[in-house]
Amino acid sequence: MATGTIPAADLPGGLDLQTTLESGQSYHWRREDGGMYEETGARGGDGWYATVVDGAVVRVRQVGGAPDGDLQWEATTDADPILADLLRLDDDLPAIRAATPEDPLVAAAFDAYPGLRVVRDPPFPTLVAFICSAQMRVARIHAMQRALAREYGTSVTFDGRTYHGFPSAEQLAAATEGELRDLGLGYRAPYVVETAEMVADGRSPADARGLAYEDAREALTEFVGVGSKVADCVLLFSLDYLEAVPLDTWIRTAIADHYPDCDRGSYAETSRAIRERFGGEYAGYAQTYVFHHLRTGE
DNA sequence: CGCCAGGCTAGCG
DNA sequence: CGCTAGCATGGC
């Protein structure tokens, strides 16, 4: 078993591991202390989180408190580069904030969650998770992804425990709509099966990389169950488009309450307006802070 | 019981 | 183009 420590105090802006993993952007980590990602879950901070990437198990926790406490990890391989990638540890949070126009809501959101980072999750699992996210609460999206991993993913044993990787497109394409409905996916079940089949046939969501932002969003909507909002989530939380601002119910409420002039009617035009209001290049970062701030009730 | 949750698709004008 | 009905499920 490989182990290591990453001093979060050395990262620009630090890291809040729990908030980053439980703020509704990533659905591929599990808290090992039995926590269920309850919306009002206890904020311990000393719990382990685990994920499986390319067959490797990675377990990590933060000791000493966020945002400066050390990250301790245990894994089947060297997890330093994996964690740097998944948690975007190279992002310079103070520089990102400095590039974001400060208004009262944005300032309050940044102040409330120092060390919150946007994640960089693998493309296919992210695509499936956000197809499942339609009209669904965060805790239940987590439950769906756990069920998919348990039923269709490859199991890995590490340190005496069994972990389940998220299923590949081929594994998920072998599922039937009825099976996924039985797992509680509801009307999203056929979307997931059809998109898995598309990816198994060679069309990866990662192919959107390299396209201009709005072209990339259009390209992703070719997958079944993927509209503008889900496409923006995949672009922001997996494909490095930090300017993407997913317009979900919370952000639409924020626009109505705080930026009414940004409501231009259509998704595309409202998206442009709020993206500009949030400073363009890192607008998705501001969106992530505001989303979490509003959703946790302030 | 009604309402809501990180919306999308198909079908219409 | 834009607009809307219908769609599953569980928690409060």
Å between A222 CA and B9 C1'?
Answer: 12
Å between A186 CA and C10 C1'?
Answer: 11
pTM higher than the cut 0.75 = yes
Residue A40: what pLDDT? 34
Which residues lie closer than 8 Å to A90 by C-beta, 6 or more apart? A84
- Burial label for A256, CB within 10 Å (0-12, 13-18, 19+), is exposed
Residue A36: what pLDDT? 46
- For residue A85, give both structure tokens: 């990638």
H or E element, residue A234: helix A228-237
Which nt sits closest to A225, CA to C1'? B8
Residue A35: what pLDDT? 53
With a 7 Å cutoff on the CB, does A251 touch strand B? yes
Which residues lie closer than 8 Å to A202 by C-beta, 6 or more apart? none
Residues 258-287 of A with CB within 7 A of strand B: 287
With a 7 Å cutoff on the CB, does A140 touch strand C? yes
With a 7 Å cutoff on the CB, does A162 touch strand C? no
Residue A45: what pLDDT? 43
Q: What is the 3-state secondary structure (H, E, C) of A78-141?
A: CCHHHHHHHCCCCCCHHHHHHCCCCCHHHHHHHHHCCCCCCCCCCHHHHHHHHHHCCCCCHHHH
Å between A4 CA and C7 C1'?
Answer: 47
| Identity of residue A266 | S
> Whose CA is nearest the C1' atom of nucleotide C3?
A266
In strand C, the nucleotides that come within 7 Å of a protein beta carbon are 1-3, 7-10
Which residues lie closer than 8 Å to A133 by C-beta, 6 or more apart? A141, A230, A233
* Per-residue pLDDT tens digits of chain A, which is 298 residues long: 999 999 999 999 999 999 999 999 999 999 987 554 433 334 344 689 999 999 999 999 999 999 999 999 999 999 999 999 999 999 999 999 999 999 999 999 999 999 999 999 999 999 999 999 999 999 999 999 999 999 999 999 999 999 999 999 999 999 999 999 999 999 999 999 999 999 999 999 999 999 999 999 999 999 999 999 999 999 999 999 999 999 999 999 999 999 999 999 999 999 999 999 999 999 999 999 999 999 998 7
Residue A297: what pLDDT? 81
Closest among A46, A73, A72, A69 to A57, alpha carbons compared: A73
